[in-house]
Amino acid sequence: MELTGATSNQLQSLERAGLVVPERIWNGKKKPEVYYTWEQLLDIKAIRDLRENTSLQMIRRVLDYFDKCNIDGSLRDKRIVVVGDEVFWIKEDLSDLGYQISALKVGDKRNKGIGQYTLLVLPAFQEVVDDIWDAAENSTVIDFGEFRNKAKAERSRNPKAS
Protein backbone atom coordinates (compact mmCIF):
# COMPACT_ATOMS: atom_id res chain seq x y z
CA MET A 1 0.00 0.00 0.00
CA GLU A 2 2.86 2.33 0.85
CA LEU A 3 4.66 1.87 -2.47
CA THR A 4 1.60 2.18 -4.72
CA GLY A 5 -0.54 4.62 -2.78
CA ALA A 6 -3.44 2.17 -3.06
CA THR A 7 -5.78 1.48 -0.17
CA SER A 8 -6.54 -2.05 1.00
CA ASN A 9 -10.02 -1.71 -0.54
CA GLN A 10 -8.49 -0.74 -3.89
CA LEU A 11 -6.11 -3.70 -3.77
CA GLN A 12 -9.01 -6.03 -2.96
CA SER A 13 -11.00 -4.56 -5.84
CA LEU A 14 -8.11 -5.14 -8.26
CA GLU A 15 -7.84 -8.71 -7.04
CA ARG A 16 -11.59 -9.37 -7.36
CA ALA A 17 -11.46 -7.99 -10.90
CA GLY A 18 -8.57 -10.37 -11.63
CA LEU A 19 -6.27 -7.52 -12.61
CA VAL A 20 -3.60 -8.02 -9.93
CA VAL A 21 -3.68 -11.22 -7.87
CA PRO A 22 -1.12 -11.42 -5.05
CA GLU A 23 0.37 -14.53 -3.51
CA ARG A 24 -0.99 -15.51 -0.10
CA ILE A 25 1.04 -17.50 2.42
CA TRP A 26 -0.84 -18.82 5.44
CA ASN A 27 1.96 -20.28 7.61
CA GLY A 28 -0.62 -21.56 10.09
CA LYS A 29 -1.96 -18.09 10.83
CA LYS A 30 -5.57 -16.89 10.86
CA LYS A 31 -4.76 -14.24 8.26
CA PRO A 32 -2.41 -14.91 5.37
CA GLU A 33 0.60 -12.80 4.53
CA VAL A 34 -0.03 -11.10 1.19
CA TYR A 35 2.85 -10.64 -1.24
CA TYR A 36 3.03 -8.67 -4.47
CA THR A 37 5.85 -8.97 -6.98
CA TRP A 38 7.68 -5.86 -8.13
CA GLU A 39 5.92 -6.13 -11.49
CA GLN A 40 2.54 -6.28 -9.75
CA LEU A 41 3.38 -3.15 -7.75
CA LEU A 42 4.20 -1.35 -10.99
CA ASP A 43 0.94 -2.56 -12.55
CA ILE A 44 -1.02 -1.35 -9.52
CA LYS A 45 0.56 2.08 -9.84
CA ALA A 46 -0.14 2.18 -13.59
CA ILE A 47 -3.78 1.18 -13.01
CA ARG A 48 -4.16 3.81 -10.29
CA ASP A 49 -2.78 6.47 -12.62
CA LEU A 50 -5.18 5.40 -15.38
CA ARG A 51 -8.12 5.36 -12.95
CA GLU A 52 -7.74 9.13 -12.62
CA ASN A 53 -9.01 9.40 -16.22
CA THR A 54 -11.00 6.26 -16.98
CA SER A 55 -13.01 3.47 -15.42
CA LEU A 56 -11.85 0.10 -14.16
CA GLN A 57 -14.15 -1.45 -16.77
CA MET A 58 -12.28 0.42 -19.53
CA ILE A 59 -8.94 -0.74 -18.14
CA ARG A 60 -10.29 -4.32 -18.22
CA ARG A 61 -11.26 -3.80 -21.90
CA VAL A 62 -7.76 -2.56 -22.70
CA LEU A 63 -6.18 -5.57 -20.98
CA ASP A 64 -8.62 -7.91 -22.77
CA TYR A 65 -7.60 -6.33 -26.08
CA PHE A 66 -3.92 -6.92 -25.31
CA ASP A 67 -4.70 -10.52 -24.39
CA LYS A 68 -6.73 -11.09 -27.56
CA CYS A 69 -3.86 -9.75 -29.67
CA ASN A 70 -1.19 -11.74 -27.78
CA ILE A 71 0.40 -8.54 -26.47
CA ASP A 72 1.95 -8.59 -23.01
CA GLY A 73 -0.94 -7.51 -20.81
CA SER A 74 1.02 -5.50 -18.29
CA LEU A 75 0.39 -1.79 -18.19
CA ARG A 76 3.59 -0.91 -16.34
CA ASP A 77 5.72 -0.68 -19.46
CA LYS A 78 3.23 0.88 -21.86
CA ARG A 79 2.47 4.51 -22.58
CA ILE A 80 -1.30 4.69 -22.32
CA VAL A 81 -3.12 7.95 -23.04
CA VAL A 82 -6.78 8.65 -22.29
CA VAL A 83 -8.48 11.24 -24.49
CA GLY A 84 -12.12 11.69 -23.57
CA ASP A 85 -13.75 8.26 -23.79
CA GLU A 86 -10.95 6.76 -25.88
CA VAL A 87 -7.78 4.98 -24.76
CA PHE A 88 -4.64 4.85 -26.91
CA TRP A 89 -1.38 2.92 -26.67
CA ILE A 90 1.56 4.98 -27.86
CA LYS A 91 4.49 3.00 -29.17
CA GLU A 92 7.97 3.71 -27.87
CA ASP A 93 9.11 5.69 -30.92
CA LEU A 94 8.42 9.25 -29.82
CA SER A 95 10.46 10.93 -32.54
CA ASP A 96 7.44 12.96 -33.57
CA LEU A 97 6.59 14.00 -30.00
CA GLY A 98 5.27 17.50 -29.87
CA TYR A 99 3.61 17.50 -33.24
CA GLN A 100 1.77 14.28 -33.84
CA ILE A 101 1.92 10.81 -32.40
CA SER A 102 0.67 7.68 -34.04
CA ALA A 103 -1.16 5.60 -31.46
CA LEU A 104 -3.09 2.34 -31.43
CA LYS A 105 -6.65 2.71 -30.18
CA VAL A 106 -7.11 0.06 -27.50
CA GLY A 107 -10.28 1.17 -25.75
CA ASP A 108 -13.49 3.08 -26.38
CA LYS A 109 -16.78 3.20 -24.46
CA ARG A 110 -18.64 2.45 -27.69
CA ASN A 111 -16.14 -0.24 -28.82
CA LYS A 112 -15.58 1.54 -32.15
CA GLY A 113 -12.27 1.66 -33.97
CA ILE A 114 -10.46 -0.65 -31.53
CA GLY A 115 -7.17 -1.81 -33.05
CA GLN A 116 -6.93 1.08 -35.49
CA TYR A 117 -3.97 3.39 -35.63
CA THR A 118 -4.85 6.99 -35.01
CA LEU A 119 -2.90 10.18 -35.35
CA LEU A 120 -3.03 12.25 -32.16
CA VAL A 121 -1.98 15.86 -32.51
CA LEU A 122 -0.49 17.27 -29.33
CA PRO A 123 1.22 20.58 -28.68
CA ALA A 124 4.95 20.35 -28.10
CA PHE A 125 5.98 20.97 -24.51
CA GLN A 126 8.09 23.92 -25.63
CA GLU A 127 5.02 25.41 -27.31
CA VAL A 128 3.17 25.24 -23.98
CA VAL A 129 6.09 26.94 -22.22
CA ASP A 130 6.26 29.62 -24.93
CA ASP A 131 2.51 30.24 -24.64
CA ILE A 132 2.86 30.86 -20.89
CA TRP A 133 5.74 33.29 -21.44
CA ASP A 134 3.79 35.11 -24.17
CA ALA A 135 0.73 35.37 -21.94
CA ALA A 136 2.86 36.75 -19.08
CA GLU A 137 4.64 39.22 -21.34
CA ASN A 138 1.40 40.51 -22.86
CA SER A 139 -0.57 40.59 -19.62
CA THR A 140 -1.75 43.85 -18.14
CA VAL A 141 -2.16 42.18 -14.75
CA ILE A 142 1.20 40.41 -14.37
CA ASP A 143 4.41 42.32 -13.68
CA PHE A 144 6.54 40.63 -16.35
CA GLY A 145 9.88 41.61 -14.76
CA GLU A 146 8.84 40.06 -11.44
CA PHE A 147 7.47 36.99 -13.28
CA ARG A 148 10.81 36.55 -15.08
CA ASN A 149 12.79 36.86 -11.81
CA LYS A 150 10.59 34.28 -10.08
CA ALA A 151 10.98 31.90 -13.02
CA LYS A 152 14.79 32.30 -12.92
CA ALA A 153 14.81 31.68 -9.16
CA GLU A 154 12.65 28.56 -9.62
CA ARG A 155 14.92 27.24 -12.40
CA SER A 156 18.03 27.71 -10.26
CA ARG A 157 16.39 25.80 -7.38
CA ASN A 158 15.04 23.04 -9.63
CA PRO A 159 17.22 22.69 -12.76
CA LYS A 160 15.29 19.60 -13.94
CA ALA A 161 12.13 21.70 -14.35
CA SER A 162 13.65 23.80 -17.14
What would the pLDDT profile of 56-106 be if each residue is shown by its tens digit?
889 988 888 888 888 887 888 888 888 888 888 886 555 545 555 667 788
Helix or strand or coil: residue 7?
Answer: coil
Residue 103 is predicted with a pLDDT of 78
Residues 102-155 have pLDDT tens digits of: 677 888 888 788 888 777 665 555 666 676 777 777 878 777 777 777 777 766
Residue 22 is predicted with a pLDDT of 94
**pLDDT at 21 > cutoff 90:** yes
Is pTM beyond 0.95? Reply is no
Residue 161 is predicted with a pLDDT of 47
Annotate 124-135 with DSSP letters as a single string: -HHHHHHHHHHH
Name the pLDDT band for 162 (thresholds 50, 70, 90): very low
Residue 109 DSSP symbol: T
| Neighbouring C-beta atoms of residue 16, cutoff 10 Å | 9
- End-to-end C-alpha distance for the chain, whole angstroms: 32
**pLDDT at 17 > cutoff 80:** yes
**pLDDT at 34 > cutoff 60:** yes
Top pLDDT among 39 and 129 is at: 39
Name the pLDDT band for 27 (thresholds 50, 70, 90): confident
Residue 144 is predicted with a pLDDT of 74
**Backbone phi, psi, residue 34, to 5°:** -110, 125
